[in-house]
Chains A and B, each alone.
Chain A
Amino acid sequence: MKKQNQNLVFLAVLLVVILGASIAVDAALPSYHIAIKVIKKATVYALVAVSMNLLNGFTGLFSLGQAGFMLLGAFSYGVLTIPVDKRAGVYQYFDGGAIKFSLPEVFAGFLGDSLGSVVGMLAALLVGGLLAALMAWLIGLPVLRLKSDYLAIATLGFAEILRAFFQWNALGPITNGSNLLKSYPDFAHATSYIILAGALVALILLLINSTYGRAFKAIRDDEVAAEAMGINLAKHKRMAFIISSFFAGVGGGMLAMYNGTIAAASFKSTMTYEILLIVVIGGIGSISGSIIASFLYIFSSEWLLRGLDSGVFLGIEAPGVFKNGFRMAVFSVIIMVIVLFFRKGLMGDKELPDLLRLRSRRKEAPSK
């Protein structure tokens, strides 16, 4: 009981600090400032990384379909929220598109402008998540019977198939074919991103600590033993897959929000790899690890190491070496070092509260 209280207090303090910080940042800086951008993008990546961790780290299903589910979420968000009067411009090659309404405007009709549009945007994200979940259910029927690397390659394949469909001109009135979707609304403040992603991550955390979460971990550790303990393998795998895809879909919608434009071409397998590597850096099987790794990754790639690409880094001027692409090259070397020599990543399968408790226990030990 005491342990649980400690955890709760710790989480509450952490939440208050993060919220306070983000509100302060929002108030102090204009919304186009790089700090805000970094926080927004890192929050989105954190959500997606946690969703991938739920599947790969907690259930032991090595799936590489994340980009496909994010694509679904991103497109549903874009398609459902572009304001009606801007549709003619966005869908210029498809007669203004097939969908003639916009969720934020629909909700604004009876909830008032500001509340209505927020509810509409959230609803669009939710639809994206649900679509991704539905697709995961469909894909899961054949694919979840496969083992480790076959599962990986089949999910990767499904993501590619989805991408091909979204670039298909015949679906253009909805997806705009291979053209961009744009002009849809975004949350101006980083705080909104943090609250939304935080709430979703909290849901995942609750799930992992529930009996279902324990069943997932049992499947990860030993499928045969788990089955012998009476865990329905097929049901629980399907569940983990669907839930993870739901959150990936919502994350994709938020990524679309952050980017300002949606193009199917950007949801390639490279995106999945990037997220997988973030999960590995943070530690496979650690929620807080994934979150910390996303923030570290986005912070250093978008801000700290910018200089590596533009000629000057740490005051050293060497345009010949620090040219376009050097940043990612350095990054991938670091990632390989982590993969080869620090296989547990930052956190292993521990969470932040675990680490604190270890430290306090060490302090107590000599006084006994």
Chain B
Amino acid sequence: MGQLLPYLINGVSVGGQYALIAIGYTLVYGILRLINFAHGDVFMVAGLVMVYATSAMPMYLALPLVLVITVLLGFTIERVAYKPLRTAPRMSVMISAIGVSYLIQNLAFYFTGGIPQPVTTPIPWISENISLLGASTKRVTLVTPVLTILLVLVLVYLINHTRMGMAMRAAAKDFETAQLMGIKINSVISMTFVIGSFLAAVGSMLYFTNYPSVGITSGGMPGLKAFVAAVFGGIGSIPGAVVGAFIIGLCEEVIKGLGYTTFSDAFTFALLIVVLCVKPTGLFGEKVTDKV
């Protein structure tokens, strides 16, 4: 148990970071019924921007800049790659998402020269080492779960108590009826991408504080895992995504702690398949019936 403790602490932290990404997936899926394959790459770009910005300018300018650029990226992706395909079959939109992911990775490769960019100036305070119950870790591992839960509470408040939140809920319930009721569907969708990208940027800053470098494929795995977390919790449900992400983060780190690092990724996908076969609606998802 004592040996597993650092892994458990780490698991909670990784889970928090997955949760922040997973919300982006779950919000977009809830409204557009689209797996935004590019979301993991948006996460990666946020990491890269952070590396460049923090080494070029003071922290109080760099961090807001990361948020702004990531949000703009998410917004642009939706406007350019998904909006023109609103009436197209779902497969076309999904292919477009895969295309965007491919494009972002290749552009990132071009700009970085394919070399993982080292995190030279990590965010101060949260990257300091502390000791917790006898285990040494960075302060970010403690900050992440707290910050995640705070952000989720704010988000849930926004969704339940503001006009925009109400519009989002309506759009998720029935896209076409919401449109008929005068909801500006395009701005609602843009808003979900803005929120998703914002949270991914926060997640990315926390995630890469714990890692020595950001590579062009660093986004793929956390992205897919966060998606699994969203499915596990019940896609479309925000609390579900958070709970799912924490469970997956914990399990993964425990598997690493037991010495099966090769299988920590495989486990996540195995979990996905089991969930899809046993309870496709996930832990908190609503039952959706397919219309003929």
Interaction A to B: yes
B263 pairs with A152, CB closer than 8 A: no
- Whole-angstrom CA separation of A328 from B111 in the bound complex: 12
Best-surrounded residue of A145, A326, A328 (most CB of chain B within 10 A): A328
Q: Is the interface of A mostly helix, strand, loop or mixed?
A: helix
User: Across the interface, which residues of B come within 8 angstroms of A167, CB to CB?
Assistant: 262
Contact flag A339-B220 (CB < 8 Å), given A154-B272, A273-B101, A329-B109: no
- Whole-angstrom CA separation of A220 from B136 in the bound complex: 55
- Whole-angstrom CA separation of A339 from B270 in the bound complex: 31
A157 pairs with B272, CB closer than 8 A: yes
A287 smallest CB distance to B (angstroms): 18
In the assembled complex, A277 has its CB within 8 A of some CB on chain B? yes
B99 pairs with A277, CB closer than 8 A: yes
User: Across the interface, which residues of B come within 8 angstroms of A326, CB to CB?
Assistant: 110
A269 pairs with B95, CB closer than 8 A: no
B102 pairs with A277, CB closer than 8 A: yes
User: Across the interface, which residues of A come within 8 angstroms of B265, CB to CB?
Assistant: 160, 164
In the assembled complex, A255 has its CB within 8 A of some CB on chain B? no
User: Across the interface, which residues of A come within 8 angstroms of B111, CB to CB?
Assistant: 325
B106: which of A168, A276, A332 is its contact (CB, 8 Å)? A332
B277 pairs with A156, CB closer than 8 A: no
User: Across the interface, which residues of A come within 8 angstroms of B64, CB to CB?
Assistant: none
Chain B interface size, as a band, is 35 or more
User: Across the interface, which residues of B come within 8 angstroms of A339, CB to CB?
Assistant: 92, 95-96, 99
User: Across the interface, which residues of A come within 8 angstroms of B91, CB to CB?
Assistant: 56, 60, 62, 148, 284
In the assembled complex, B174 has its CB within 8 A of some CB on chain A? no
Give the nearest-CB partner of A338 in chain B: B99
In the assembled complex, A101 has its CB within 8 A of some CB on chain B? no
In the assembled complex, B5 has its CB within 8 A of some CB on chain A? no
Q: Chain B 68-96 against A: per-residue CB contact (8 Å), 1 yes, 0 no?
A: 00000000000011001100101110111
B35 pairs with A332, CB closer than 8 A: no
In the assembled complex, B269 has its CB within 8 A of some CB on chain A? yes
- Whole-angstrom CA separation of A62 from B34 in the bound complex: 13
A332 pairs with B273, CB closer than 8 A: no
In the assembled complex, B153 has its CB within 8 A of some CB on chain A? no
User: Across the interface, which residues of A come within 8 angstroms of B103, CB to CB?
Assistant: 329, 332-333, 335-336
B263 pairs with A335, CB closer than 8 A: no
In the assembled complex, B227 has its CB within 8 A of some CB on chain A? yes
In the assembled complex, B239 has its CB within 8 A of some CB on chain A? no
Residues of A within 8 A of B (CB): 56, 60, 62, 142-143, 145-150, 152-154, 156-158, 160-161, 164-165, 167-169, 224, 268-270, 273-274, 276-277, 280, 284, 323-326, 328-329, 331-333, 335-336, 339-340, 343
What are 12 A-B residue pairs whose CB atoms fall within 8 Å in the complex? A143-B273, A148-B91, A153-B231, A154-B276, A158-B269, A268-B220, A277-B95, A280-B95, A280-B99, A323-B110, A325-B106, A328-B106
